[in-house]
Structure formats: structure tokens, C-alpha cells
Amino acid sequence: KRVAIFLSGGGSNMVALAQSMQGDHPAKPVLALSNDAQAGGLQKAAAMGIATAAVDHRPFGDNREAFEAELCKVLDSYRPDIVCLAGFMRVLTPYFIDVYAGRMLNIHPSLLPKYKGLHTHQRALDAGDVVHGCTVHEVTAALDDGPILGQAKVDVAANDTAQTLAAKVLVQEHALYPQVLRRFAQGDKTPLRLGF
Ligand code: GRF
């Protein structure tokens, strides 16, 4: 299976996914794509020998479909079977999601369905949660809402801040996403639960 990985920032999840595919694996990374040509993740992908591309969303303004049409044009030449959103910070419209329906994954830093959207760690702390974590799900038109493919748990400490909690969750993201991708690439959608 050919995997395209979308990122917007440092790309630590892209690195974890790419490293997990280096051995005997049913999938291989064929592209790392970002909406930001300066994203650190693109340099890391290039250093790993993975093709990179950047499609800046800003010239398209509010025309999300036009931005996504450009995404598709770039993607088509790499013929991805699976798209992994990994720290990709642009909301995708049903137009793009329909093209990759059933073969697009996302990792979200909360135990969905709790805390869809942004600032998940602060929201968990504000709610006094003692358990938090991350979720890999299939991407559907509703934001952070598709079928759950895996979750990893993190215990919240009394002295945790949003920053320390984010760091603990990120470690679990790097464990969870590669395991879910390996199974998904083999057609196994049995939800994976780590640390529960
Ligand atoms: C992190 O906040 C992570 O929780 C979320 O995306 C952000 C950046 O991740 N999934 P990465 O280091 O770019 O993979």
C-alpha cells in the first residue's frame, strides 16, 4: 500500500509512521505533503528519502475546494492508497474527503468523542480529567468524528500543564499511529486500545 502523509509542522508523527514502515511492512511512504513549504516535517521527510510536496493554502483564501483540487492534482501523481493526516492543521471539506473516503486516517490528541477541535489538553485539564490520550480515526466529513481505529491512554498528573500533557500524549501518538496503520493497511479495522 502506498501512503501519503500530510503534515503542517514538525512532523514527529510522520517520522514515527515512516520509520515504522522501514522494515517488513504492507505499506510504504510515497509522499510527505504540507500546506506550509517551511514545515520542519518536510525537511525530515526529505532526509529520510521520502518525496515531499507543499501546497500553500493561503493563495486560495476561503476557496477550500480550489485548495483541495490542487492537493488532489499533486497527490494523483503519487497514486496513494492511504492518506494519513499527521499534525495537519487544515480542515478538509467533503469534496476532498469523498475522494479518499474509507482510506484516510487522522490522529487527534484526545480520547474522542471528547474534545473535538483544538486546545484538547487544556480542556481536559479544565475538566479535571484524570485520564486523557489520543485517537486515530477514519476521516469523515464531520470534524474529528469518523470511526475510531485506535486509542492510547495517558494518566493526567495533578501537576500536569497543557504542555506536559501534550508531550505525554505525543509519545503515545507515536506508538499508536504506526500500529493502527499497519493493521489498516492489511484491512484490519479492529479498534486498538493501548494502556487501558
Ligand atoms: C501535535 O499537537 C499532535 O498532538 C497533533 O499534531 C501536532 C503536531 O504533531 N497530532 P507533529 O509533531 O507535527 O506530528
- What is the reported pLDDT for 182? 98
Confirm if 68 and 36 have CB atoms less than 8 A apart: no
Overall average pLDDT of the 129-153 stretch: 96
- What is the reported pLDDT for 78? 98
- What is the reported pLDDT for 20? 98
Of all residues in the chain, the percent with pLDDT exceeding 90 is 98
> Ligand 1: distance of its center to the CA of 65 in Å?
24
Q: What is the pLDDT of residues 21-30, one digit of tens each?
A: 998 999 999 9
- What is the reported pLDDT for 117? 95
Confidence bin at 153 (pLDDT 50/70/90): very high
Is any ligand 1 atom within 6 A of the Cβ of residue 9?
A: yes
- What is the reported pLDDT for 52? 98
Is any ligand 1 atom within 6 A of the Cβ of residue 11?
A: yes
Q: What is the pLDDT of residues 45-101, one digit of tens each?
A: 999 999 999 999 999 999 999 999 999 999 999 999 999 999 999 999 999 999 999
Environment class of 75 (CB within 10 Å of its CB; exposed 0-12, middle 13-18, buried 19+): buried
Of all residues in the chain, the percent with pLDDT exceeding 70 is 100
Q: Is the peptide bond before 109 cis (omega within 30 degrees of 0)?
A: no
- What is the reported pLDDT for 53? 98
User: Looking at this predicted complex, what is its ipTM?
Assistant: 0.94
* Helix%, strand%, coil% for the chain, nearest 5: 35, 20, 40
Confidence bin at 35 (pLDDT 50/70/90): very high
Is any ligand 1 atom within 6 A of the Cβ of residue 41?
A: yes
- What is the reported pLDDT for 171? 98
In DSSP notation, 160-181 reads: --HHHHHHHHHHHHHHHHHHHH
Is any ligand 1 atom within 6 A of the Cβ of residue 34?
A: no
- Which atom of ligand 1 approaches the CA of 8 most closely? 13
Q: Which of 8, 13, 15 to mutate to test the pocket of ligand 1 (most atoms within 8 A of CB)?
A: 13
Task: Compute the mean pLDDT over every residue in the chain, rounded to the nearest whole number.
Answer: 97
The sheet carrying 28-34 orders its strands as 52-54, 28-34, 2-7, 82-85, 104-108, 131-138, 148-155, 192-194
Confidence bin at 146 (pLDDT 50/70/90): very high
